Structure 1
Amino acid sequence: MDTSVNKQDRLAQDEEITLKELILKIREWNRYLLSKWKIIALAGIIGGFLGFLYAYLKKPVYTAECTFVLEEQGSGGGLGQYAGLASMVGIDLGVGGSNGIFQGDNIIELYKSHSMIRKTLLSKCSFKGKQELLIDRYIESNRLKEKWSKKNGLSQLSFNIPQSSFRLQHDSIISVIVNDINNNYLTVSKPNKKLSIISVKVKSQDELFAKEFTGKIVGNVNDFYVQTKTKRSSENLHILQRQADSVRAVLNSSIGGAAAAIDANPNANPAMQVLRVPSQRRQVDVQASSAVYIEVTKNLEIAKISLRKETPLIQVIDEPGLPLEEMRYGKLKCFVLGGIILGFLMVIVILFKRVYKKILE
């Protein structure tokens, strides 16, 4: 019993000694660091100066933002009663089907697709009255041609040619730029998940590039979205329009033929019924063509309603305008952060050197 008590007392004493030694060590290190305060302060001043210099030389970043609301009409509804009528002539109005390949937040991913960004980069915009490709503006603002000067052929590479003439170098450079824009320039989000408002932001050190790229990609993506959503209904509408024009031409011809047949025998003998046959045939053709034309015209109007119903409403709320929102690095903030970071690194170096010397001793 006494032995166990003694062991517990020894453990308690060891713990007390260990804690005491820890406190003494901390004091010792603290005194040592205070003895080196001049070096640490000098490192902090140098770090603050470097931070101030970074903030002074760093170009501001401009943010162009475009917000729009997306509203999609559901399918079906009041057009369901016309679906059977349209199907009689082999026309599918798309009533009751799905809303298409783009649903929900898929339009956000469409903004980040390689094809949409590529199409936007190869679009021309006006910069101070001069038409210029957005990709050329990107290359100029990032001084890529200076970096390419050591590589044969890249500094003279031109994108102002038909895309069918692009070589492997063109496609490779475009892929690199698209990835950079996706990772560092372009942000697409829904600020409020409950609403259908979508925000498109482009950040760049080139104010004009940010503004023009934002407007162009919003236009390209939204046009592609609407065309894809309404593609089936548009094709149906074009088919019905061609049918209506064709039937109308036949009807006009039948009406003219009936009039010509009557004019051929203006004073036909009532006893000679055979003389009335040509005009009666023409009349039958007119009546048949009129009935077909009425039905086709009715289906054409239904198709127009269907197209309007399936066309999503995209209403731009805010467009980017000059001057854009500017984000600069605060000189005082960078001075303080630079001083803290370099001072902390100097403390680590000093402690490491002291520990290293003690190990060698």
Structure 2
Amino acid sequence: MNDIKTDEITFKTIILEIKGWFNFILSKFKFIFLAGILGAALGVCYSLMKKDIYVATLTFALEEDNAGASGALGLVGQLGLDVGGGAGGAFAGGNLISLFKSRKMIEQTLLTDIAVNGKKISLAEMYIQENKWRDGWKKLPKIKNLKFLPYANRDSFTREQDSVLELIFKNLSAANLDVSQKDKKIGMISIETKSTNEHFSKVFTESLANVVSDFYIETKTEKSKINMEILQRQLDSIRGELNGSISGVAVANDRTFALNPALNVKRVPSVRKQVDVQANTTILTELIKQTELAKVTLRKETPLIQVIDRPIYPLKKERFGKAKGIVFGGFIGGFLAVMYFIVRRLYGILMKE
């Protein structure tokens, strides 16, 4: 019985305590309401000061004829020939998405050009101007005169230039650049860039797609290209040797024209040249076969990157509107006021104890 009474007293105490807190908060309603009004006003001011965010989206499809390349390599293997191979799965699946967000690709994109007021500047320079960083650099002699020219040699950059590029990269990759594959069953990848400058968002997105596309295709086909170039040089060399041997046969035949058939020694140079012609002909035929197979393999291994949707003006705009400012500002203002009164009352209770 004592336990039941104790439980009832405890439950009643909790109810009374909650009621007391509720009445206390209710008694401060006017102040909380005023704090909410102030927060709403600040929210409206913030919405007026905050710049609009422009969103550029580019979607492309990646198609690789891996089956065709494997079939070509299998055919070459049966013939006992070696025509090289591609880069394998170095950028397969999620690795390709990571490539888009890599520092190398983003920095290379930032050093491409963009037209601003009829003048070509780099995307990095435009980003600096848009965010007014140079205003804060005026008192910093080491960086106030930094320039980022279009297509500048990245290896020649100073420590300060590296630091600025690193900061731009972090700002873009942290929350303003999103690369994703919407559906894993479909090889379509979407690139989305956000910035306060509509022109920058559009050009950066398209430039990033071009930079990564060129790098990806070059890497995937590098081995096959090297092999084909070697075969082509050998083919040209043997063709030159064959032409020289054919000319040599003609010259030797002219020298032995109407020669006494009994004098066979005089015919040796002509026979040697004919052997050279036959040998070079066989080698040339084999090289032509290998070169053509190498060209087929190169075409098979070259991935097709097809742009589906490009960003077009006007871009999608994300705006922090007045209504949102009123709702969020009012809620935050009221919440902070409630927390203030709660902390203040708890402090008073603790001091009494």
Q: CA deviation at 1:201?
A: 1.1
Deviates more, 1:305-314 or 1:158-167: 158-167
Residues 255 and 286 of structure 1 are in contact (CA less than 8 Å); yes or no, is this contact kept in structure 2? yes
Deviates more, 1:262-271 or 1:238-247: 262-271
Q: Aligned pair 1:85/2:79, yes or no? A: yes
**Deviation sequence 1:97-145 (CA, Å, 0-9, x none):** 9824222221111112221111111222223432111110111111111
Partner Cα distance (2:135, 2:97) in 1: 34
Residues 86 and 299 of structure 1 are in contact (CA less than 8 Å); yes or no, is this contact kept in structure 2? no
1:118 to 107, 128, 134: 107
- 1:351 is aligned to 342
1:107 to 96, 99, 108: 96
Letter of the structure 2 residue corresponding to residue 243 of structure 1: Q
Cα 1:102–1:352 change in 2 (3 A) is closer
**Deviation sequence 1:157-210 (CA, Å, 0-9, x none):** 122264444211111221222122211221111111222111111111111111
Q: CA deviation at 1:213?
A: 1.1
1:131-146 aligned at under 5 Å gives the runs 131-146=120-135
Q: CA deviation at 1:291?
A: 1.2
Q: CA deviation at 1:69?
A: 1.1
- 1:5 is aligned to none
Q: Aligned pair 1:31/2:31, yes or no? A: no
Letter of the structure 2 residue corresponding to residue 217 of structure 1: L
Residues 245 and 277 of structure 2 are in contact (CA less than 8 Å); yes or no, is this contact kept in structure 1? yes
Deviates more, 1:144-153 or 1:292-301: 144-153
Cα 1:40–1:321 change in 2 (3 A) is same
Q: Aligned pair 1:76/2:70, yes or no? A: yes
How many residues of Structure 1 are paired with residues of Structure 2 in the alignment? Answer: 348
TM-score, length of structure 1 as denominator length: 0.89
Residues 83 and 294 of structure 2 are in contact (CA less than 8 Å); yes or no, is this contact kept in structure 1? no
Partner Cα distance (1:86, 1:201) in 2: 47
1:311-326 aligned at under 5 Å gives the runs 311-326=302-317
RMSD (Å) for aligned C-alpha atoms: 2.1
- 1:170 is aligned to 161
- 2:244 is aligned to 253
1:11 to 3, 24, 28: 3
Cα 1:332–1:290 change in 2 (3 A) is same
- 2:219 is aligned to 228
Residues 55 and 329 of structure 1 are in contact (CA less than 8 Å); yes or no, is this contact kept in structure 2? yes
Q: CA deviation at 1:281?
A: 2.7
- 1:64 is aligned to 56
Letter of the structure 2 residue corresponding to residue 59 of structure 1: K
Aligned-pair identity in percent equals 44
SS of 2:243's equivalent? helix
Letter of the structure 1 residue corresponding to residue 208 of structure 2: I
TM-score, length of structure 2 as denominator length: 0.91
Q: CA deviation at 1:300?
A: 0.3
Partner Cα distance (1:26, 1:356) in 2: 17
Partner Cα distance (2:280, 2:346) in 1: 103
- 1:6 is aligned to none
Q: CA deviation at 1:52?
A: 1.2
Cα 1:350–1:164 change in 2 (3 A) is closer
Structure 1 runs not aligned, ≥5 long = 1-8
Q: CA deviation at 1:92?
A: 4.3
**Deviation sequence 1:195-250 (CA, Å, 0-9, x none):** 21111111111111111111111111111111111111111100000000001111
2:136 to 126, 140, 147: 147
Partner Cα distance (1:263, 1:129) in 2: 71
Deviates more, 1:11-20 or 1:270-279: 270-279
Deviates more, 1:146-155 or 1:337-346: 146-155
Partner Cα distance (1:319, 1:264) in 2: 71
- 1:184 is aligned to 175
